C-alpha cells in the first residue's frame, strides 16, 4: 500500500499497523500537528499531568500487557521530563516507543525556543534512538523502532521528529518486515552449551536456581518451574523475577541479596552450581562480588550476550531466549542427587523465616499491612510499587503467585514510578485488580497523576505505607551514619485522605491493625481510584539486611529477628 | 594489554558519538580512533586502539555489538596484522641542521613535505615503534608541532572483515 501522507499521519498509521490501542502523553508546541492527527484517530490517548507520569504509565502498560508502550511528548522540557522514565524502562528492559516533537529542521542547533538535544541526552538510556531529518526516513524508523523495542532484550526506543516533518508529505510504505543488519538477537541456545549445562546440573549436589526478570519477559515461568521440580533444585528469584514461581512453592527460598532471605543468601553462598536465568547479577543481589558464588560453577542463561561475564565470571554461558533454552534443557535433564541439600535449604527456610515484632497495642506495622493487602487483593492482582522500604517489604511479605503480578522499578530505583505504572497496568489489564503500594515520599513524586486516574475513571487502589519519612534513607542513616537523620523527615506532607478528596478520589485511613482489614474491604468495594493512608511505625527497619559491599552471607537480622 | 579493534559501522550521522559515548560511560579507555569509508560507501570502518585486560576487552566488544549501527567488531590483536599510522612533525630546522634532519628522514624512509627558513614538516608512516623512534631523534632539534591520524589496521592475508550476513 503506497499513499502520500503527512508525517503526523504516518506516525498514527504506523501505530495502527502495530495495533497500538493506547498512547500516554502530553501535548505541546512541537507535537501540535501530531495531536491534531490523533484527534481523528481511534487510538485512545491518556493525558497524564506530567510527562514523567506518561512514560511510567506506558511502562506499566507494557509490562502488564506484554506489549510495546507508546508515549508522546513535545520538544524541550516535554522531552527532558521523560528522561527518568526512559532510564527506568531501559534498566528494566521494558519495550517502549517514545515519539517526541522537535523544533523545525531550520531551527535545529540554534538554541531555539523549547529546543533540547533529546537524542543526545537519551543516547545512554535508550536501546536506540532516531532524529528524523527527512520525511523519507520516517516510515522505516517507525517500523524499526517497534521492532527494536519489542524484540531481543527489550528496551525503550525514541524517535525525535521535527515539527515541519510532521507537516511534510511523503510516501508511506510501512515495512511489513524489518531487516536491520546490525541487529540480530540470538534466540536459540547453543546445543553444546545446553548439554554442558544439563550435565553440570546432573553432577551438582548443591544446585540453586537464581532467576529474574528475563523469565517473566520471556514467558518462561512454566519452564522454570518444570526445571526446578524435575531437577529438585531450590529457587531464588530476584525482585524482577518475583512471581515466576509461586511464593509458596516448596522449592522457593525467597528473594536473595541485600534484603533477601537468609535461606536464599545462604543457598547462593554455599551452592556448588548456580543456574542463573534471565538475571544480570546486580550489586543489590551479589553484595561483595569477589565472595559471591565462590565455590559454585555458574551457568548463565540470558538473551543479552553483554550481560554474560559482565559482573561475574561464568562457566557455562548460554545466550538465547530463556523459554527456548529452558525447554531444551528440560527435555535432556537428568536430576542429580540433591536430597541432602534440599533438606539443608529447607532447614534454613524453617529456621529463618521473615518475621517482625508485633504486640497487642503496638503501632501499625508495615509488614502486617503488606500481608493484609496480599490477603485482600487476591492471587491474580497486579501490584506496583515505588522504591524504598515499602518496596522491600512488598518483595518479602507479599506472596506473589503469578508471573507479572509485581511491577516495580528494579534497576533504576525510581521513586514516583508505582502510581503512574499502576494506571498503565490497569489500562492494559482492565479485568485485573491493580494495587499500588507506595511510600509517602514516593507517592508525592507523581501525586499529580491522581487527576489522570480520576478523570479517566481508572480503578487503581493506592496503599501508602506512611511512616512520615524517607524510610530507607532513615534506615541507612540509623545504621551507617550514627543516627544523623539529615533531611529524611517528611514532616509537612499533606493529609492524604483530604488530598484524595480534593482530586475527587476516595481517601481512607488506617492507623491501627484493627482498622486495616476494614479499610481494604472498603477500598475494594469503592469504584474508581482510592487512596489508603496506612500510618505505620516510623522506626521500623527492613530486615534481613546485608550491608553494602559485604558478602551476602553476612546477614543482619535486626533486633526483631532471630 | 593493547588491542586494535576493527569496527564496521553504518555510515550515518551520530554513529561516532554513540561509539565514543559508550566507551566513556562504561569507563573504557580509547587510545586512539580513526574513521573512514570502506569499499561500500554506506559502511565506515573505525579502527579503535584500546587497552584493558581480556574481560574488559570482551565487554567492549559485546557492548559495541549491542549498538544497532555497529555491523561487525573484530579484535585484530588476535591475528597477524599490519598496523600503520601517519604522523606529521613540524621540526625546528635552520641551515646548519637541515641536512642532519634530512638524513634522519631518509633513514626512516620518511618525507619532507614542507620547508621554511626555520622549520620543516616531516611526513612519516609506520607502526608505533617507528613513529616513536623518529620523534625521539627529532626532539633533539626541537619539535614545534605534531599531528597524527590514529592507527589503521588490516589483518594479513586474503581474509577480509565483512559485515555479518
What mean pLDDT, rounded, does chain B reach?
94
C-alpha cell read off for A429: 489489564
Q: Point out which residues pair with A147 in neighbouring strands.
A: none
Residue where the block lists cell 557492548: B63
Active site residue A10: no
Per-residue pLDDT, A362: 80
- pTM surpassing 0.80? yes
Regarding whether A207 and A168 lie in a shared domain, the answer is no
Number of H helices, E strands in chain A: 23, 19
Active site residue A310: no
Kindly provide the b/e burial profile for residues B62-98, where b requires at least 16 CB atoms within 10 angstroms of the residue's own CB. Answer: bbbbbbbbbbbbbbbbeeeeebbbbbebbbebeeeeb
Active site residue A396: no
Regarding whether A408 and A282 lie in a shared domain, the answer is no
Neighbours of A182 (CB within 10 A): 18
Measured CA to CA, the distance from residue A422 to residue A436 in angstroms comes to 6
CB contact at 8 A, A12 and A38? yes
The active-site residue out of A6, A37, A91, A163 is: A163
Q: Return the residue of B nearest to A313 by Cα.
A: B55
Contact across the interface for B14 and A309, Cβ inside 8 Å: no
Contact across the interface for B21 and A124, Cβ inside 8 Å: yes
Contact across the interface for A309 and B59, Cβ inside 8 Å: yes
Contacts of A181 in chain B (CB under 8 A): 10, 71, 163-164
Measured CA to CA, the distance from residue B111 to residue B99 in angstroms comes to 13
Residue A371 resides in a domain = yes
Contact status of A289 with chain B (Cβ, < 8 Å): no
Average pLDDT over residues B78-84: 92
CA-closest candidate to residue A456, choices A29, A118, A6, A57: A57
Contact across the interface for B163 and A181, Cβ inside 8 Å: yes
Regarding whether A287 and A422 lie in a shared domain, the answer is no
- pLDDT above 50: residue B112: yes
Regarding whether A384 and A337 lie in a shared domain, the answer is no
Crossing angle of helices B15-25 and B54-66, in 10° steps, is 140
C-alpha cell read off for A116: 533540547
Measured CA to CA, the distance from residue A383 to residue A395 in angstroms comes to 10
Per-residue pLDDT, A358: 80
Contacts of B25 in chain A (CB under 8 A): 124
Measured CA to CA, the distance from residue A96 to residue A30 in angstroms comes to 21
Regarding whether A327 and A200 lie in a shared domain, the answer is yes
Residue where the block lists cell 536430576: A335
Residue A384 resides in a domain = yes
Q: Return the residue of A nearest to B63 by Cα.
A: A306
Contact status of A310 with chain B (Cβ, < 8 Å): yes
Residue A360 resides in a domain = no
Per-residue pLDDT, B81: 94
Regarding whether A414 and A268 lie in a shared domain, the answer is no
Domains of chain B: 2-78 (3.30.70.260), 82-152 (3.30.70.1150)
Peptide bond into A165 cis (omega under 30): no
Nearest by CB to B21, which of A123, A127, A182? A123
Regarding whether A207 and A94 lie in a shared domain, the answer is no
Residue where the block lists cell 534497576: A411
Active site residue A401: no
Residue A551 resides in a domain = no
In this prediction, does ipTM exceed 0.85? Answer: yes
Residue A506 resides in a domain = yes
CA of residue A451 relative to chain centroid, distance: 23
Provide the shortest C-alpha distance from residue A325 to chain B (in Å): 21
Provide the shortest C-alpha distance from residue B44 to chain A (in Å): 13
Regarding whether A239 and A143 lie in a shared domain, the answer is no
Contacts of A131 in chain B (CB under 8 A): 13-14
Contact across the interface for B164 and A128, Cβ inside 8 Å: no
Provide the shortest C-alpha distance from residue B57 to chain A (in Å): 11
Residue A540 resides in a domain = no
CB contact at 8 A, A152 and A123? no
Contact status of A147 with chain B (Cβ, < 8 Å): no
Domain count, chain A: 3
Residue where the block lists cell 487502589: A461
Q: In A247-298, which residue ranges form alpha helices assigned H by DSSP?
A: 262-270, 283-286
Regarding whether A265 and A320 lie in a shared domain, the answer is yes
Contact status of A109 with chain B (Cβ, < 8 Å): no
C-alpha cell read off for B93: 630546522
Contact across the interface for B55 and A305, Cβ inside 8 Å: no
What residues contact residue A261 under an 8 Å CB cut-off, 6+ apart? Answer: A236, A253, A254, A255, A349, A352, A354, A396, A544
Contacts of A119 in chain B (CB under 8 A): 14
CB contact at 8 A, A546 and A554? yes
C-alpha cell read off for A433: 485488580
Active site residue A163: yes
In total, chain A counts a number of residues equal to: 562
Write a three-state SS string for A157-218: EEEEEEHHHHHCEEEECCCCCCCCCCCCCCCCCCHHHHHHHHHHHHHCCCEEEEECHHHHHH
The active-site residue out of A6, A18, A24, A51 is: A51
CB contact at 8 A, A285 and A257? yes
Measured CA to CA, the distance from residue A219 to residue A142 in angstroms comes to 26
Provide the shortest C-alpha distance from residue B58 to chain A (in Å): 9
Residue A29 resides in a domain = yes
Regarding whether A289 and A143 lie in a shared domain, the answer is no
CB contact at 8 A, A54 and A416? no
Tens of pLDDT along chain A (562 residues) come to 567 999 999 999 999 999 999 999 999 999 999 999 999 999 999 999 999 999 999 999 999 999 999 999 999 999 999 999 999 999 999 999 999 999 999 999 999 999 999 999 999 999 999 999 999 999 999 999 999 999 999 999 999 999 999 999 999 999 989 999 999 999 999 999 999 999 999 999 999 999 999 999 999 999 999 999 999 999 999 999 999 999 999 999 999 999 999 999 999 999 999 999 999 999 999 999 999 999 999 999 999 999 999 999 999 999 999 999 999 999 999 999 999 999 999 999 999 999 888 877 788 999 999 999 999 998 899 999 999 999 999 999 999 999 999 999 999 999 999 999 999 999 999 999 999 999 999 999 999 999 999 999 999 999 999 999 999 999 999 999 999 999 999 999 999 999 999 999 999 999 999 999 999 999 999 999 999 999 999 999 999 999 999 999 999 987 644 4
CB contact at 8 A, A188 and A128? no
CATH number of the CATH domain containing A392: 3.40.50.970
CATH number of the CATH domain containing A300: 3.40.50.1220
Q: In what order do the strands lie in the sheet with A297-302?
A: A235-237, A207-211, A273-277, A297-302, A316-319
Provide the shortest C-alpha distance from residue A305 to chain B (in Å): 7
CA-closest candidate to residue B73, choices B42, B34, B55, B46: B46
Regarding whether A347 and A407 lie in a shared domain, the answer is no
CB contact at 8 A, A232 and A335? yes
Range of the domain at A411: 366-535
Let me know if A227 is exposed, middle or buried by CB neighbors in 10 A (0-12, 13-18, 19+). buried
Residue A562 resides in a domain = no
Regarding whether A408 and A346 lie in a shared domain, the answer is no
Measured CA to CA, the distance from residue A546 to residue A425 in angstroms comes to 32
Measured CA to CA, the distance from residue A227 to residue A194 in angstroms comes to 13
Provide the shortest C-alpha distance from residue B46 to chain A (in Å): 15
CA-closest candidate to residue A34, choices A95, A105, A82, A101: A101
Mutate to test the interface with A, among B24, B42, B52, B66 (most CBs of A within 10 A): B66
Which residues of chain B have a Cβ shorter than 8 Å from any chain A Cβ? 9-10, 13-14, 17-18, 21-22, 25, 55, 58-59, 62-63, 65-71, 163-164
Amino acid at each position: 500500500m503506497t499513499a502520500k501522507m503527512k508525517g503526523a499521519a504516518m506516525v498514527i498509521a504506523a501505530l495502527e499497523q502495530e495495533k497500538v490501542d493506547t498512547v500516554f502523553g502530553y501535548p505541546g508546541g512541537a507535537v501540535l500537528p501530531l495531536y491534531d492527527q490523533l484527534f481523528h484517530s481511534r487510538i485512545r490517548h491518556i493525558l497524564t499531568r506530567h510527562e514523567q507520569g506518561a512514560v511510567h504509565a506506558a511502562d506499566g502498560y507494557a509490562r502488564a500487557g506484554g506489549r510495546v508502550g507508546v508515549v508522546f511528548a513535545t520538544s524541550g522540557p516535554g522531552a527532558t521530563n521523560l528522561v527518568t522514565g526512559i532510564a527506568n524502562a531501559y534498566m528494566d528492559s521494558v519495550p517502549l516507543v517514545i515519539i517526541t516533537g522537535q523544533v523545525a529542521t531550520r531551527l535545529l542547533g540554534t538554541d531555539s525556543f523549547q529546543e533540547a538535544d533529546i537524542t543526545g541526552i537519551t543516547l545512554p538510556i535508550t536501546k536506540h534512538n532516531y532524529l528524523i531529518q527527512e520525511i523519507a526516513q520516517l516510515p522505516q524508523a517507525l517500523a524499526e523502532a517497534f521492532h527494536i523495542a519489542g524484540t531481543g532484550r527489550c528496551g525503550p526506543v525514541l524517535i525525535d521528529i521535527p515539527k515541519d516533518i510532521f507537516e511534510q508529505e511523503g510516501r508511506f510504505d510501512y515495512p511489513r518486515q524489518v531487516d536491520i543488519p546490525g541487529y540480530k538477537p540470538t534466540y536459540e541456545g547453543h546445543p553444546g552449551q545446553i548439554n554442558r549445562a544439563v550435565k553440570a546440573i546432573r553432577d551438582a549436589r548443591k544446585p540453586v536456581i537464581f532467576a529474574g526478570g528475563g523469565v517473566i519477559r520471556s514467558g518462561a515461568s512454566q519452564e522454570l518451574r518444570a526445571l526446578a521440580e524435575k531437577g529438585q533444585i531450590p529457587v531464588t528469584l530476584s525482585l524482577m523475577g518475583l512471581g515466576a514461581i509461586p511464593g509458596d512453592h516448596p522449592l522457593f527460598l525467597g528473594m536473595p541479596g541485600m534484603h533477601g532471605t537468609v535461606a536464599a543468601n545462604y543457598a547462593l553462598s554455599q551452592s556448588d552450581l548456580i543456574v542463573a536465568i534471565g538475571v544480570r547479577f546486580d550489586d543489590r543481589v551479589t553484595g561483595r562480588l569477589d565472595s559471591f558464588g565462590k565455590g559454585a560453577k555458574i551457568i548463565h542463561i540470558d538473551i543479552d550476550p553483554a550481560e554474560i561475564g559482565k559482573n561475574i565470571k561464568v562457566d557455562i554461558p548460554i545466550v538465547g531466549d530463556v523459554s527456548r533454552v529452558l525447554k531444551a534443557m528440560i527435555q535432556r535433564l537428568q536430576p542429580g542427587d540433591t536430597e541432602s541439600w534440599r533438606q539443608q535449604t529447607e532447614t534454613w527456610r524453617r529456621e529463618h523465616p521473615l518475621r517482625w515484632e508485633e504486640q497487642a497495642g503496638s503501632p501499625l506495622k508495615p509488614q502486617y499491612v503488606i500481608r493484609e493487602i496480599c490477603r485482600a487483593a487476591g492471587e491474580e492482582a497486579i501490584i506496583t510499587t515505588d522504591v524504598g522500604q515499602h518496596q522491600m517489604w512488598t518483595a518479602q511479605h507479599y506472596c506473589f503467585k503469578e508471573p507479572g503480578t509485581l511491577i516495580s522499578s528494579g534497576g533504576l530505583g525510581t521513586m514516583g514510578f508505582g502510581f503512574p505504572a499502576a494506571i498503565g497496568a490497569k489500562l492494559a489489564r482492565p479485568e485485573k485488580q491493580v494495587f499500588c503500594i507506595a511510600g509517602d515520599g514516593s507517592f508525592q513524586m507523581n501525586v499529580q497523576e491522581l487527576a489522570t486516574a480520576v478523570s479517566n475513571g481508572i480503578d487503581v487502589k493506592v496503599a501508602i505505607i506512611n511512616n512520615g519519612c524517607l524510610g530507607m534513607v532513615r534506615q541507612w542513616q540509623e545504621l551507617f551514619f550514627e543516627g544523623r537523620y539529615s533531611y529524611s523527615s517528611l514532616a509537612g506532607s499533606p493529609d492524604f485522605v483530604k488530598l484524595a478528596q480534593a482530586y475527587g478520589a476516595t481517601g481512607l485511613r488506617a492507623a491501627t491493625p484493627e482498622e486495616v482489614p476494614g479499610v481494604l474491604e472498603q477500598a475494594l468495594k469503592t469504584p474508581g481510584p482510592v487512596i489508603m493512608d496506612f500510618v505505620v511505625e516510623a522506626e521500623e527497619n527492613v530486615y534481613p539486611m546485608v550491608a553494602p559491599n559485604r558478602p551476602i552471607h553476612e546477614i543482619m537480622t535486626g533486633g526483631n529477628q532471630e | 594489554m593493547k588491542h586494535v579493534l576493527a569496527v564496521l559501522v553504518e555510515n550515518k550521522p551520530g554513529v561516532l558519538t554513540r561509539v565514543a559515548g559508550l566507551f566513556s560511560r562504561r569507563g573504557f579507555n580509547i587510545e586512539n580512533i580513526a574513521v573512514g569509508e570502506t569499499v561500500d560507501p554506506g559502511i565506515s570502518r573505525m579502527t579503535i586502539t584500546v587497552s584493558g585486560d581480556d574481560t574488559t576487552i570482551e565487554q567492549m566488544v559485546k557492548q559495541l555489538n549491542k549498538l544497532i549501527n555497529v555491523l561487525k567488531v573484530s579484535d585484530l590483536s588476535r591475528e597477524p596484522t599490519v598496523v600503520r599510522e601517519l604522523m606529521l612533525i613540524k621540526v625546528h630546522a635552520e641551515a646548519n641542521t637541515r641536512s642532519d634532519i634530512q638524513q634522519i628522514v631518509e633513514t626512516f624512509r620518511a618525507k619532507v613535505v614542507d620547508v621554511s627558513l626555520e622549520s620543516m614538516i616531516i611526513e612519516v608512516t609506520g607502526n608505533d615503534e617507528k613513529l616513536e623512534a623518529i620523534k625521539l631523534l627529532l626532539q633533539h632539534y626541537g619539535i614545534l608541532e605534531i599531528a597524527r591520524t590514529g592507527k589503521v589496521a588490516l589483518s594479513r592475508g586474503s581474509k577480509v572483515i565483512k559485515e555479518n550476513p
